[in-house]
Amino acid sequence: MLIYKEKRLMKKVLLLAFFLLIAGISYSQRSLNTVFTVGHTFKNDISLSIGGKAFAGKDLIITYDHTHNFATKCQSNYINIGIGNDKQIILLKYGAATKPYEHSHIHHTDYGVEYLWVYNGNDRNLLYGLSYTKENGFGVKAGLLF
């Protein structure tokens, strides 16, 4: 039992370290290529998303979104693909959502949409917006475009 808890803790620490490392490296870029967002849904899910422009000079944006529910301890993973410009980013979400089922859990194919506005008020562009998926419902997002 103790080994299982240590493995879960190690996975969380590695995931957090990975997101912080990628965000730190990406923060020092000169052109706007990387999208990093943190979100919260009304079903007590928190999400981290990181990605960026797929091709230099193009507006295609691809991100990876990981969601964790604190009440059920279930996770969801999404790939977001969309387009963006200097004012907005529109992403389609597709992935798998894990939900509790009796004494275990079950995986559902999930899809949705995410809409982010870009605020150009300072040297680093801020993102804010809304997210919706079929299984997790509505949520809010905030982040950086750098």
Instruction: Determine contact, residues 131/40, Cβ cutoff 8 Å.
Output: no
pLDDT computed for residue 91 by the predictor:
95
pLDDT digits (tens, 9 = 90+) for 82-106: 998 888 999 999 999 988 888 888 8
Residue 132 has pLDDT above 90, yes or no: yes
User: How much helix, strand and coil, in percent to the nearest 5, is found in the chain?
Assistant: 20, 60, 25
What DSSP designation does 59 have? -
Whole-Å CA distances, 63 to 34, 78, 84, 140, 142: 9, 8, 12, 16, 14
pLDDT digits (tens, 9 = 90+) for 10-67: 667 767 776 666 665 555 555 667 889 999 999 889 999 998 887 767 788 889 999 9
Instruction: Determine contact, residues 89/68, Cβ cutoff 8 Å.
Output: no
The more confidently predicted of residues 126 and 28 is 126
pTM of the model: 0.76
Residue 71 has pLDDT above 80, yes or no: yes
pLDDT computed for residue 83 by the predictor:
92
**What mean pLDDT, rounded, does the chain reach?**
83
The more confidently predicted of residues 135 and 19 is 135
CA distance 135 to 31: 35
Residue 110 has pLDDT above 90, yes or no: yes
129-134: average pLDDT: 95
